[in-house]
Amino acid sequence: MAATIKAIATAAGVSRGTVDRVINGRGGVSPEIEQKIKKLIVDMNYTPNRAGKVLAGLKKPMKIGCMLPSIDNPFFYDVILGLKQSERELSDFGVSIEIAQVKGFDPNDHIRAIKELIAKNVSALCVSTVDVPAVQNVLNAIIQKGIPVISINSDLSHTNRLCYVGCNYAESGKTAAGILNLIRKEPLEVLIITGSLNMQGHNQRINGFIKTLQDKGIKHHIAEVIESMDDDHTAYTRTLCALKKYDRVNCLYITAAGVAGACRAVEEQNLQDQMTILTFDDVPATRELVLKNVIAATICQEPFKQGYESIKILYDYFVNGAAPKKTHYFTDTVIKIKENI
């Protein structure tokens, strides 16, 4: 067991309160005593005991606000399970979470939800939002007031967010290409169905995919890149149209939501046997299509862990006051096929 505040106080010939002031930089200690204590902290190799901090901290509980565009978006279901699991594990330590769920990606809706969380007196924030100036400004103002913010699943630029927890989109795109390389039936004629060309993550998946195909010298041609707007119906109609237009397509690369819609178009055209379909994430509709052998593989990103770790990081920051070691906490790129899904 390491040294305690009491041991340091005894060694310095002062009270525990004074040692506490120095350790936590609360000020109001004479320079000589401060130096003496600081030296002892180093010499005696003091590290604050978390169990002690936790118990004392029970007097001022911590509420963490989470804002997710999760309404009608099953991807976030596992993220929320992760958030709640963390909450359960930390509830005895005075932690609770408040989840604000939003539908879609309208910046104004997101800002409103974030402000509501702040009004509920949260002491930290964990958000998955859109990376636009209006949102950035709101968050920076909040951070300025001393409320730490983490970006989850989708990162934010131009903000002082503590860190990002989420998918490594470029790697996930590369991995899709790697799987395709193993399966390969050259020449590849690829139809790319992305969520939105305005989404950073989706674009990184496309770029990582294409770059890897090129690097590997795989003969391929991109028929077209179409947008599903993360919507099944749009995905269906646009995929159907594209399949008719490009009759040599033998691979569907679907970077985002709309999977069920796109696959329905393939099945209606009875093309599933000659088509290699790669998708992302493991939502129920996707899982079903993997089990049906329609989708060859789906690349996942540990959504549960994203929720789980975000809360742990914010709690650690709250207790220790130390910023997390990394700015990017990438979850693993996980390949799921029928047998291990």
Partner DNA sequence: CTGAAAGCGCTTACAG
Cβ distance 187 to 222 under 8 Å? no
Residue ranges in 262-321 that form contacts with a second copy under rule CB under 8 A: 296-297
Cβ distance 202 to 253 under 8 Å? no
- How far apart are CB 336 and a second copy at their closest, in Å? 8
Select the binding partner of residue 60 from DNA, a second copy, none (C-beta < 5 to 8 A, by kind): DNA
Element (H, E) at 18: helix 16-23
Select the binding partner of residue 23 from DNA, a second copy, none (C-beta < 5 to 8 A, by kind): DNA
Element (H, E) at 297: strand 297-300
Residue ranges in 125-184 that form contacts with a second copy under rule CB under 8 A: 171-172, 174-175, 177-179, 182-183
The answer to whether residue 228 forms part of the interface with a second copy (CB under 8 A) is: no
The answer to whether residue 57 forms part of the interface with DNA (CB under 7 A) is: yes
Cβ distance 132 to 198 under 8 Å? no
β-partners of residue 95 are 62
Tally of CB atoms within 10 A around 218 = 15
Which CB sits closer to DNA, 58 or 141? Answer: 58
Select the binding partner of residue 18 from DNA, a second copy, none (C-beta < 5 to 8 A, by kind): DNA
Separation of CA 257 from chain center: 16
Select the binding partner of residue 28 from DNA, a second copy, none (C-beta < 5 to 8 A, by kind): DNA
What's the rounded Cα separation, in Å, for the pair 18 and 12? 10
The token pair at 81 is 């399970």
Element (H, E) at 337: none
Residue ranges in 96-135 that form contacts with DNA under rule CB under 7 A: none
What's the rounded Cα separation, in Å, for the pair 136 and 214? 36
Calculate ∠ Cα 133-135-139, nearest 5°: 115
Per-residue interface string for the shown chain with DNA, residues 58-77, x marking contact by CB under 7 A: xxx-----------------
What's the rounded Cα separation, in Å, for the pair 337 and 314? 34
The answer to whether residue 28 forms part of the interface with DNA (CB under 7 A) is: yes
Select the binding partner of residue 212 from a second copy, DNA, none (C-beta < 5 to 8 A, by kind): a second copy
Query: Applying CB under 7 A, which residues contact DNA?
Result: 1, 4-6, 13-18, 20-21, 23-24, 27-31, 33-34, 48-49, 51-53, 55-60
Site for a second copy, rule CB under 8 A:
1, 47, 49-52, 54-55, 58, 61, 92-94, 171-172, 174-175, 177-179, 182-183, 212, 296-297, 332-340
